[in-house]
Chain A
Amino acid sequence: MADACNHSLALTQLAGDTGSRVHRLDPRAKLLGLLTVTFVVVSAPLGRWPVYAAGAAVLLAVAAAARIRPGDLWRRVRVVLPLVLLAAALLPLLRRGGTSYDLGLLTVHQAGLEIFGAVAAKATIGTSSAALLGMTTAFPAVLRGLEALRVPRLLILIAAFMYRYLFVIVEELGRMRAALAARGYRPRHALQAGAMGRVATAMFLRTYGRGERVYLAMLARGYQGTMPRLDPLVLQRADVLFVAVIAGCLLPVRILAGTP
């Protein structure tokens, strides 16, 4: 049953060849390397296509090294991308300048289209970069990397609990939905959605109760307010090399092609 309920969370798992060199890198190296790609591309002024192309090339190289199929990458990117692009989609209509194209009710402007293109490229590269991190690094490892990079421990702790209990909550939600459906609940209009509100209330109360029990279980094993860690992360030569190569490829392009 867990498998059936967790299908919606399948996209949070690793992909590609999990034994690949990229998968085996230190999470800090992957965080820094992929953040560099995002930062270089996002910080470049609009219309600097060589910088965008270089960023995309680096991501493709990383994906190839991790043996990630383009289809898998696309499946994850398309979850986030529409939301990111929604805001930019109005730009061609609003920003005036250059040639304009009449589409009946709407008029699309050349200047707006150019901005839209650049924003879309940046958004795609940023999203792909984050998706690649998720496909090559297990979420607990990402958290450990962030912790080692001095992100506040409280935030890490909250994220860790969210990740751990997301699966438990999705399972519970699946069971409650099944119980509703088993008693013939098929909402046909908004007024019948009240049951979902009650499900949400029940979920809240159960989660609250669970929070209390988890805290007791933590106290029972000697928790005193700090989260201890077993293995300190150790940077290898390959990790340094990974970040250095990415920065070495992108920073010159950014400086040469990205300045006016």
Chain B
Amino acid sequence: MSCVIHARGLTYRYPGGGGQPALHGVDLHVGHGERVALLGPNGAGKTTFMLHLNALLTGSGELEVAGLAVGPKTVHELRSRVGLVFQDPDDQLFMPTVAEDVAFGPLNQGLDRAAVRARVAEALGAVRMDHVADRAPHQLSMGERRRVAIATVLAMHPLLLVLDEPSANLDPRARRELLDVLAGIDRTLLVTTHDLPFAAELCERAVILAGGRVVGDGRCEDVLADAALLAAHDLELPAGFDLGAVRRRPRPAPGPSAAAAGPTGGTTIR
């Protein structure tokens, strides 16, 4: 299986959610190492789909993630292989200090303490937040909180990293720093957003989700250049935005420890 995400006919209806299902037969295939932007207006089903990737919601249809058929038996392993970064970092950071929060996932994976400490240092280094290890989350700025939230997931060495609206509520500088950090992470990425320039800079592929269905899928520049498709689904590039001038962030060079990474982490973070 070379797919990281393989969804076919995935359908989910919220209990008491009335007539319209939140996901209405989603078909999506994401290969190893791809960087995919999942675009769509509010209420399109982006977050619902994201929660399925970690079995936090279970709909009908086929879903295989990170080589596992999603179901009750695989939940624990699945959650170590797929890292979800939630939109509000205050939901994600619940421990009293940053280091304890980053250690939470690896400890749940049953790693020994020395390995957990190494993971914490590595993950905080990868998001350039090593200096805040002993701070409390409420002492950090929004941009810093978001980077720490990414570290809490990176520390679990996931195969797939899923980010929900990572650039929401960030000032331009924090947004740029976040792009720098994400561009340096060598993993399969799924980024849900409606910040189209952000998607263009980071991802080579874009998928548009609307009304619980995939309505567009292709190279990021092609999808974003299709003004009619974007307009039909309440998306638009900022006025005057020149798609041709966007320079996609290069991928990090493969690190020396790539081969030494564990079975659930075939890639390395810089």
Q: What is A's interface to B at a CB cutoff of 8 Å?
A: 2, 6, 139-140, 143, 160-161, 163-165, 167-168, 210, 213-214, 216-224, 228-231
In chain B, positions 106-142 with a C-beta closer than 8 Å to chain A are 107-109, 113, 116-117, 120, 136-138
The answer to the question of B14 belonging to the interface, with a C-beta cut-off of 8 Å to chain A, is: no
Contacts A221-B153, A230-B117 known; A216 to B86 CB distance under 8 Å?
yes
A164, B108: Cβ atoms under 8 Å?
no
A217, B80: Cβ atoms under 8 Å?
no
> In the complex the two chains form, what is the Cα distance from A122 to B21 in whole Å?
64
Contacts A140-B97, A140-B100, A229-B107 known; A217 to B138 CB distance under 8 Å?
no
- Chain B at the A interface: mostly helix, strand, loop or mixed? helix
- Across the interface, A213 reaches (CB within 8 A) one of B86, B109, B117, namely B86
Task: Give chain A nearest CB distance to B202 CB in angstroms.
Answer: 22
CB-nearest residue of chain A to B107: A228
Interface centre among B54, B96, B136, B156 (most CB of A within 10 A): B96
B88, A213: Cβ atoms under 8 Å?
yes
Please name all residues of chain B whose beta carbon is closer than 8 Å to the beta carbon of A229 when the two chains form the complex: 107
| Extra inter-chain contacts (20) besides given A167-B138, A217-B91, A230-B103, CB under 8 Å | A2-B138, A140-B97, A164-B93, A164-B95, A164-B137, A210-B91, A214-B94, A216-B86, A216-B91, A217-B84, A218-B94, A219-B54, A220-B54, A220-B83, A220-B84, A221-B108, A223-B104, A224-B108, A230-B100, A230-B120
> In the complex the two chains form, what is the Cα distance from A231 to B103 in whole Å?
10
CB-nearest residue of chain A to B142: A2
B138, A161: Cβ atoms under 8 Å?
no
> In the complex the two chains form, what is the Cα distance from A164 to B94 in whole Å?
6
The answer to the question of B235 belonging to the interface, with a C-beta cut-off of 8 Å to chain A, is: no
Task: Give chain A nearest CB distance to B80 CB in angstroms.
Answer: 6
> In the complex the two chains form, what is the Cα distance from A133 to B76 in whole Å?
40
B103, A220: Cβ atoms under 8 Å?
no
In chain B, positions 62-106 with a C-beta closer than 8 Å to chain A are 76, 79-80, 83-84, 86, 88, 90-97, 99-100, 103-105
Please name all residues of chain B whose beta carbon is closer than 8 Å to the beta carbon of A210 when the two chains form the complex: 90-91
> In the complex the two chains form, what is the Cα distance from A229 to B97 in whole Å?
12
CB-nearest residue of chain B to A226: B108
The answer to the question of B56 belonging to the interface, with a C-beta cut-off of 8 Å to chain A, is: yes
Please name all residues of chain A whose beta carbon is closer than 8 Å to the beta carbon of B11 when the two chains form the complex: none
Contacts A214-B91, A222-B109 known; A164 to B96 CB distance under 8 Å?
yes
Task: Give chain B nearest CB distance to A171 CB in angstroms.
Answer: 8
> In the complex the two chains form, what is the Cα distance from A218 to B86 in whole Å?
11
> In the complex the two chains form, what is the Cα distance from A229 to B116 in whole Å?
10
A168, B94: Cβ atoms under 8 Å?
no
